[in-house]
C-alpha cells in the first residue's frame, strides 16, 4: 500500500466506519483499505481518507468541504441526492451537508467553463443565477450565460 504525503483526516464521534461505508457506497471507484476500532482508511476516486472515532469534542463546519467535480447534470443530481439522503441538508450554490455534518460542494465542470470568460456581464449573469440555486442546474447556468 502506497502511503500518501497528504491525507484528509475526518474526526467523528463514533461513526467513522458508518461514514466510510456510506461514502464508499456513493463513489464508484472506492474501497475501504483498513478497518480498526479507532481509525478507518478508505479511498474515494483515488483519494485516500482517514476517519477516526474520537468522541464529540470537534464537529465539522463549512471551513472545509469536499468538492466533487461533475461532468453532467446527471452526475450533479446523483451526488446531490445521495449525499443529502437520510438526514443530509441541502445548502445554497451547490453546497450541502451530509448526514454526518460534512460539507460538500457538488459543482458542474460547466460552471468553471462559463466563468472563465473575459465578458464580465456574462460571468455576472452566471453568478447571479447560481446565487438563486441550491443544487446547481447546468441548463439554467448556460441560459444565464447566453443572456436568456
Query: How many domains is the chain partitioned into structurally?
Result: 2
Confidence class for position 40, pLDDT limits 50, 70, 90: very high
Distance from chain centroid for Cα 95: 7
The model's pLDDT over 24-38, given as tens digits with 9 standing for 90+, comes to: 999 999 999 999 889
For position 117, what pLDDT does the model report?
A: 78
Q: Is the pLDDT of residue 1 over 80?
A: no
**In degrees rounded to 5, what are phi and psi of residue 57?**
-60, -40
Q: Do 92 and 144 fall into the same domain?
A: yes
Domain boundary among 37, 56, 75: 56
Average pLDDT over the chain, rounded to an integer: 95
Q: What is the mean pLDDT of residues 74-86?
A: 98
**In degrees rounded to 5, what are phi and psi of residue 114?**
-70, -30
Residues of the domain holding 140: 60-148
Q: Do 12 and 50 fall into the same domain?
A: yes
Q: Which residue has the higher pLDDT, 2 or 1?
A: 2
Q: Do 74 and 97 fall into the same domain?
A: yes
**In degrees rounded to 5, what are phi and psi of residue 94?**
90, 0
Amino acid at each position: 500500500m502506497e502511503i500518501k504525503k497528504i491525507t484528509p483526516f475526518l474526526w467523528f464521534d463514533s461513526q467513522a466506519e458508518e461514514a466510510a461505508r456510506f461514502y464508499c457506497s456513493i463513489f464508484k471507484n472506492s474501497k475501504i483499505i483498513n478497518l480498526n476500532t479507532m481509525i478507518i482508511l478508505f479511498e474515494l476516486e483515488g483519494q485516500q481518507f482517514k476517519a477516526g472515532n474520537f468522541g464529540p469534542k470537534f464537529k465539522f463546519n463549512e471551513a472545509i468541504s469536499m468538492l466533487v467535480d461533475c461532468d453532467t447534470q446527471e452526475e450533479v443530481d446523483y451526488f446531490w441526492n445521495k449525499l443529502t439522503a437520510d438526514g443530509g441538508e441541502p445548502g445554497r450554490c451547490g453546497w450541502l451537508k451530509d448526514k454526518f455534518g460534512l460539507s460538500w460542494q457538488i459543482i458542474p465542470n460547466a460552471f468553471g467553463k462559463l466563468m472563465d470568460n473575459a465578458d464580465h456581464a456574462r460571468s455576472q449573469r452566471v453568478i447571479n443565477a447560481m446565487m438563486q440555486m441550491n443544487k446547481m442546474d447546468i441548463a439554467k447556468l448556460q441560459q444565464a450565460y447566453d443572456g436568456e
